[in-house]
Amino acid sequence: MTDFVTGVCRALAHPARRALLQALSRGECDVGGLSAGSGLDQPTASKHLAALRRAGLVTVRVDGRRRCYSLTSEETVRPLLDLLTQLESQEARQSPGEPASGDEPPAADDDLALELELQEEQ
């Protein structure tokens, strides 16, 4: 995989980032609105938005003190969101206790993983 594809896959791996992308698919929004709508505190939402920006999925426009985010390309991001929706629907249809196809790695602490990812990129 290319570095670009790897970055996109990493960005899409976190459920909060997918939720932020879904919100942005409805149009431009500032970080405060995205934070309130997602249930994330503003610093956490900003960190996730920064990861999406580094992956090339969102852009930011500065309007005074506000930072307004939008999808970089609806034509690129919409099919990704549609695929993720299909995968989540498939997962929801599985019986409780039924293993997903293939072995799943153990879940990592999301906050720690985000911090490590941000440190690596600096």
In a domain, 9, yes or no: yes
In a domain, 103, yes or no: no
- Residue 107's DSSP bridge partners are none
In a domain, 101, yes or no: no
In a domain, 39, yes or no: yes
In a domain, 71, yes or no: yes
In a domain, 116, yes or no: no
Would you put residue 61 in left (φ > 0), alpha (ψ -120 to 50) or beta?
beta
What residues make up the domain containing 53?
1-86
- Residue 51's DSSP bridge partners are none
Q: What is the pLDDT of residues 63-115, one digit of tens each?
A: 999 999 999 988 888 898 888 888 888 888 876 666 555 555 545 555 666 66
- pLDDT value at residue 100: 57
- pLDDT value at residue 115: 62
In a domain, 34, yes or no: yes
In a domain, 14, yes or no: yes
- Residue 58's DSSP bridge partners are 71
Q: How many domains does the chain have?
A: 1
Residue 4 belongs to domain with CATH number: 1.10.10.10
Q: How confident is the model at residue 54 (pLDDT cuts 50, 70, 90)?
A: very high
Measure the CA–CA gap between 50 and 20, rounded to whole angstroms: 11
